Amino acid sequence: MSPAIALAFLPLVVTLLVRYRHYFRLLVRTVLLRSLRDCLSGLRTEERAFSYVLTHALPGDPSHILTTLDHWSSHCEYLSHMGPVKGQILMRLVEEKTPACVLELGTYCGYSTLLIARALPPGGRLLTVERDPRTAAVAEKLIRLAGFDEHTVELIVGSSEEVIPRLRTQHQLSRADLVLLAHRPRCYLRDLQMLEAHALLPAGATVLADHVLFPGAPRFLQYTKSCGRYRCRLHHTGLPDFPTIKDGIAQLTYAGPG
């Protein structure tokens, strides 16, 4: 390419970089820098975050552990976790709904798991599912460090597609009063329909779905709005540390099979 052609495209490149600078920063932090640090340390960012928690957080104090993870994500390495703004929405809904049993699909590092566990009513139970064994090992240690035992929080390692059909028989889950979808947005619709097919959603159940705007779950949103079995509300938020990147949590209320 000649210098003249390159110079002709320069204003366009500069305009795109300025307009999408927040997405560019997110790409750098979540892909480029993370991959470099993973390669140099031999550890994943979630494992490095847990090491930080061990040396900076108070064992048995979920609130302090969550604050420590937020600090790590803001000042050390971006963690791609739920964050405090969405976390307040989640905790408020758990406290309002007082669910006897909660199902979380997508434990990741255990951040949202701790939020739910903190807000559970007495005797409440949380089943959380994580497909990646290495990430699940970090989450397990974090959950136990926060003081929650296996009677309160049970972590299941496996893909949601494999786990959902055996929740009733192997994990004694007859109904989920509240469900958090926080794994892969492209799997939300499939997994919601599986929960319906296995009769795990009672009438009045609440389903929360994270990241429905970024990266987005359009087919999931279209289904829940058009099938007639859900009342839908969208909580508009931004990404943690990137508030200008718009995202949202969908709150669904299941009316029953109809």
pLDDT reading at 188 higher than 60: yes
| Amino acid letter for position 57 | A
pLDDT reading at 12 higher than 60: no
Residue 49: what pLDDT? 97
Segment 117-175, tens digit of pLDDT: 999 999 999 999 999 999 999 999 999 999 999 999 999 999 999 999 999 999 999 99
Asked whether the beta carbons of 56 and 68 are under 8 A apart, the reply is yes
Segment 49-80, tens digit of pLDDT: 999 999 999 999 999 999 999 999 999 999 99
Q: What is the DSSP letter of 212?
A: I
User: Rounded distance, CA 215 to CA 3, Å?
Assistant: 36
Nearest to 65 by CA among 80, 90, 78, 84: 84
User: Rounded distance, CA 55 to CA 227, Å?
Assistant: 49
User: Rounded distance, CA 124 to CA 245, Å?
Assistant: 34
Asked whether the beta carbons of 252 and 220 are under 8 A apart, the reply is no
**Whole-prediction pTM:** 0.92
Residue 193: what pLDDT? 98
Nearest to 124 by CA among 86, 176, 61: 176
Residue 39: what pLDDT? 94
Segment 216-226, tens digit of pLDDT: 999 999 999 99
Percent of the chain whose pLDDT exceeds 70: 93
